[in-house]
């Protein structure tokens, strides 16, 4: 894949992770519980494990950590 496709993929991932972070902070507690039931925590940890923490992916890493923080604050 080309570099522009990679950049676009990363931008899409960032949007999705940021939207998830917002949802985990603002949705009703039932949303958070359902997220956990559907193995969302495991999914976040898997994503975290695959992120290359070099500069280009640093923001994604920070956003996933933000999701984990929101999850802990709301569970």
- Higher pLDDT, residue 75 or 72: 72
Q: Output the pTM of the full model.
A: 0.81
Q: Cα(24)–Cα(20) distance, rounded to whole angstroms?
A: 6
The answer for 54, left when phi > 0, alpha when psi is -120 to 50, beta otherwise, is beta
What pLDDT shows up at residue 3?
81
Every domain of the chain and the residues it spans: 3-73
3-state secondary structure of 5: helix
Give the DSSP H or E segment for 32: helix 29-37
Residue 50: band (very low, low, confident or very high) from pLDDT cuts 50, 70, 90: confident
Among 30, 7, 26, CA closest to 18: 26
Q: Which tokens is 34 given?
A: 């359902």
Residue 1 clears pLDDT 70, i.e. is over it? no
């Amino acid at each position: 894949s080309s570099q522009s496709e990679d950049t676009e993929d990363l931008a899409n991932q960032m949007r999705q992770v940021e939207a998830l972070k917002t949802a985990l902070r603002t949705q009703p507690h039932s949303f958070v519980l359902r997220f956990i039931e559907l193995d969302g925590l495991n999914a976040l940890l898997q994503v975290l494990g695959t992120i290359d923490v070099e500069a280009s992916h640093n923001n994604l890493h920070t956003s996933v950590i933000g999701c984990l923080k929101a999850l802990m604050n709301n569970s």
